[in-house]
Chain A
Amino acid sequence: DTAVSQTPKYLVTQMGNDKSIKCEQNLGHDTMYWYKQDSKKFLKIMFSYNNKELIINETVPNRFSPKSPDKAHLNLHINSLELGDSAVYFCASSQVTGPQETQYFGPGTRLLVL
């Protein structure tokens, strides 16, 4: 069983388009995250949600809008895509009061903006 899944795994699109990436976790975790990995492999937090509530928004342009319909899902919608948005986007989840507080990552979505 896949613990944290993301769709799509690859996304190629034109500048100016709007796209969404979906994330689902079946671990029963209460906190979910979006990370961005740039071309130099650097990973940085974008957003964090706990029980559907936004708790962290790290100076991300407002073209990026996360949505959490329930605590098992955290989707990322991106408006007016720019070349600099090309990256790998990772979803992750954790249980705040869990025994290890370890974050588990999805497989990543490689976004290429042309």
Chain B
Amino acid sequence: AQTVTQSQPEMSVQEAETVTLSCTYDTSENNYYLFWYKQPPSRQMILVIRQEAYKQQNATENRFSVNFQKAAKSFSLKISDSQLGDTAMYFCALRNSGNTPLVFGKGTRLSVIA
């Protein structure tokens, strides 16, 4: 069975600072994908960044980057130069290749403070 654990229910960061959200996971598969989704108050699920397990290079999308440690089964999200619009719930998710659904962590509520 796959599991995803986010150990930080809530976090806060000052505007323009950097924050890291933690995620660990467990799977017996060798080929899988990891995702971070953002859910602002509008409740829309927005893809932030994704990582293929077979790629060693950490994914980067503008101010968002991940630290993927496959052996440790860790997939943390770093947000640089935090902006007020980054305030949201952030979900870490895992899926195997093929017709498989996402398995989500319980989420981390991030507040960016002016």
Answer whether A and B are interacting partners.
yes
B50 neighbours in A (Cβ, 8 Å):
100, 102
A31 neighbours in B (Cβ, 8 Å):
99
Asked if residues B101 and A48 are in contact (CB atoms below 8 Å), the reply is: yes
Q: Does B11 contact A (CB under 8 A)?
A: no
Q: Does A55 contact B (CB under 8 A)?
A: yes
In the bound complex, CA of A65 to CA of B70 (Å): 38
Q: In whole Å, how far is A94's beta carbon from the nearest beta carbon of chain B? A: 9
The number of inter-chain residue pairs (CB within 8 angstroms) is: 55
Chain A: residues with CB nearer than 8 A to chain B?
31, 33, 35, 40-45, 48, 50, 55-56, 58, 88, 90, 92, 96, 100-105, 107-108, 110
In the bound complex, CA of A12 to CA of B80 (Å): 40
Q: In whole Å, how far is B106's beta carbon from the nearest beta carbon of chain A? A: 6
The answer to whether A108 and B106 touch (CB under 8 A), given A43-B91, A48-B101, A56-B101, is: no
In the bound complex, CA of A44 to CA of B89 (Å): 16
In the bound complex, CA of A101 to CA of B50 (Å): 10
Asked if residues B91 and A104 are in contact (CB atoms below 8 Å), the reply is: no
Per-position binary interface string of chain B over residues 66-102, scored 1 when its CB falls under 8 Å from any chain A CB and 0 otherwise: 0000000000000000000000010100010111111
Name A53's closest neighbour in chain B (CB-CB). B99
In the bound complex, CA of A56 to CA of B102 (Å): 12
Q: Does B30 contact A (CB under 8 A)?
A: no
5 cross-chain pairs, A with B, having the tightest CB-CB distances, nearest first: A105-B45, A45-B101, A43-B104, A108-B43, A50-B99
